Amino acid sequence: MTENRRTNLSQNEYRKNAYVYGNAVRKTDPVYRDNTVRRELERPEYRNSRKTAASRKTRNGLNLGFVAFIALALFASAYILIGYVQLRSEVTNTTKTISAMESRLNDLRVSNDEAYTRINSGIDLDEIKDIAINRFGMIYAQEGQIIVYSDAGNDYMRSVDND
């Protein structure tokens, strides 16, 4: 009855419910699905054909072409990555240079505006007019003395005196 019960249980259930008497556990033979016990010596030896061994070798190992392709891809990736890092560095340096030049330009504009204001505040136009009229004898132009020229689109204009 226990033998019958043993065959109806699954292998895991049998292991859980089995009790072994003695001070050491014996090594048991595996029980297969068809309820037969096979020993290691009963298993037939299989010899692989040369074709199977060659396919296993190429499947498990790396052939030279694959290694060369991976190495080439690695070097190309490294080259592109180094080029990208160098370009980013150049962009960063250029941005810093532009920022420094813009700051210098703003400082020069401020100092130029301050100098212009200082110069204009030091000029007295009434005094210049008085000196021009009284000391140098200058007079205002009359109505017929003013000649207006049309702009021909050139950058300069020649004046020719007929006197």
**How many distinct structural domains can be found in the chain?**
1
Pull the structure tokens for residue 8: 């109806």
C-beta atoms surrounding 90 within 10 Å: 10
- For residue 10, pLDDT over 50 is answered with yes
143 in a structural domain? no
How does pLDDT run across 117-158, given as a tens digit for each residue?
999 888 888 999 999 999 998 988 888 888 777 776 666 666
Residue that has been written with the tokens 């048991």 in this structure = 28
Does 152 fall in a domain?
A: no
Give residue 41's pLDDT.
45
**Residue 72 belongs to what domain range?**
2-136
- 154 φ, ψ (degrees, to nearest 5): -85, 165
Confidence of residue 5 (pLDDT cuts 50, 70, 90): very low
The answer to whether residue 156 is domain-embedded is no
- For 31, other C-beta atoms within 10 Å of its C-beta total 17
Residue 104 lies in a domain: yes
Euclidean distance between CA atoms 77 and 82, whole angstroms? 9
Residue 66 lies in a domain: yes
Q: pTM of the full predicted structure?
A: 0.41
72, part of any domain: yes
User: pLDDT value at position 4?
Assistant: 45
List the structure tokens of 86.
């160098």
Per-residue model confidence as pLDDT tens digits over 44-96: 555 666 677 666 666 666 788 888 999 999 999 999 999 999 999 999 999 99
Structure token digits, residue 149: 């020229």
